Amino acid sequence: EMQLVESGGGLVQAGGSLRLSCAVSGMTFFGYAITWFRQVPGKEREGVASISGKGGTTFYARSFQGRSTISIDNPKKTVYLQMNNLKPEDTAVYYCAADQMGWSSGWDREDEYGYWGQGTQVTVSS
């Protein structure tokens, strides 16, 4: 069974950077999309960035374009999210999710994904 484990969260000052990792086991990346979401208490999960299993296709939320990079290391079966110029409003629990490509509603809809990690907390201080 597919498992996703996030790491790399922590406390960072505004303007700083973090690199989140999502280690995937139990699946091959081929034909799948791996997507980062984030969630703050009381709000729905928000899509941050997505990458195809082969790494050729990426999507970013508008608020992350230009200051984040999603990448994939196939031999390590790990997806990374490099986030730069972090802001206090980026404080959230960040999750990675995976499922087969071919969305009916969009890459950033949480109901498109059946496999989720446990999340990692990112806190950005002002």
Taking only the tens place, the pLDDT of each residue in 28-69 is 878 899 999 999 989 999 999 999 988 789 999 999 999 999
* Beta strands per DSSP E along the chain: 3-7, 10-13, 18-25, 32-39, 46-52, 58-60, 68-73, 78-83, 92-100, 115-116, 120-125
Average pLDDT of the segment spanning 17-22 = 98
Instruction: Decide if 47 contacts 104 (C-beta within 8 A).
Output: no
Across the range 101-105, mean pLDDT stands at 82
| Backbone phi and psi for residue 88, each to the nearest 5 degrees, phi listed first | -55, -30
Mean pLDDT of the chain: 94
Model confidence at 101: pLDDT above 90: no
Query: Which residues have a Cβ under 8 Å from the Cβ of 41 and sit 6 or more positions away?
Result: none
Say what the pLDDT of residue 64 is: 93
The pLDDT of residue 104: 78
CA distance 86 to 88: 7
**C-beta atoms surrounding 105 within 10 Å:** 9
Predicted confidence band at 99 (pLDDT cuts at 50, 70, 90)?
Answer: very high
pLDDT (0 to 100) of residue 53:
85
For 44, the 3-state DSSP assignment is: coil
Please give the pLDDT value at position 79.
Answer: 96
